[in-house]
């Protein structure tokens, strides 16, 4: 819910700034791009670390099943949960940035 609020607040700010934004508006517009790149790389890093961890756990599960000689439907469930956990970890940095922006941009400031 924070991301649409941030988009709306920033869009309104850009419209209010018009063709000649002041220094504060220019900083905010530059910040938009920087924050997106930073959140992207934090998400990629979090997802990669989680994928490595889950691959190790799934490899151990596969070895246990191979040694026991039977396959379990539980393994499929574990694989699905692992994939969901990777995606969840990837969304944490994006959520953190969006909620921080929503709080920061939602504060009212007097404009000249």
**What is the radius of gyration, based on Cα positions, of the chain?**
22
Distance separating alpha carbons of residues 47 and 77, to the nearest angstrom: 19
Is the pLDDT reported for residue 111 higher than 60? no
Model's pTM, two decimal places?
Answer: 0.67
Give residue 45's pLDDT band: very low, low, confident or very high (50, 70, 90). Answer: very high
**DSSP 8-state secondary structure symbol assigned to residue 18:** T
Is the pLDDT reported for residue 112 higher than 60? no
Mean pLDDT, to the nearest integer, of 73-101? 86
Predicted local confidence at residue 47, as pLDDT: 94
Mean pLDDT, to the nearest integer, of 71-75? 69
What are the tens digits of pLDDT across the range 53-68? Answer: 999 988 888 887 777 7
| CA atoms within a 13 Å half-sphere pointing along the CA-CB vector of 89 | 19
**DSSP 8-state secondary structure symbol assigned to residue 61:** H
**DSSP 8-state secondary structure symbol assigned to residue 104:** H
Is the pLDDT reported for residue 7 higher than 90? no
Average model confidence (pLDDT) across the chain: 85
Mean pLDDT, to the nearest integer, of 61-83? 76
Mean pLDDT, to the nearest integer, of 13-33? 88
Mean pLDDT, to the nearest integer, of 76-103? 88
């Amino acid at each position: 819910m924070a991301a649409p609020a941030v988009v709306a607040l920033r869009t309104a700010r850009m419209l209010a700034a018009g063709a000649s934004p002041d220094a504060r508006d220019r900083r905010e517009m530059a910040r938009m791009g920087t924050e997106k790149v930073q959140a992207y790389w934090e998400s990629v890093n979090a997802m990669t670390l989680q994928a490595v961890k889950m691959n190790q756990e799934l490899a151990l599960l596969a070895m246990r099943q191979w040694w026991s000689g039977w396959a379990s439907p539980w393994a499929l469930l574990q694989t699905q949960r692992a994939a969901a956990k990777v995606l969840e970890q990837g969304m944490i940095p994006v959520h953190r940035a969006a909620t921080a922006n929503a709080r920061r941009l939602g504060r009212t400031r007097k404009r000249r």
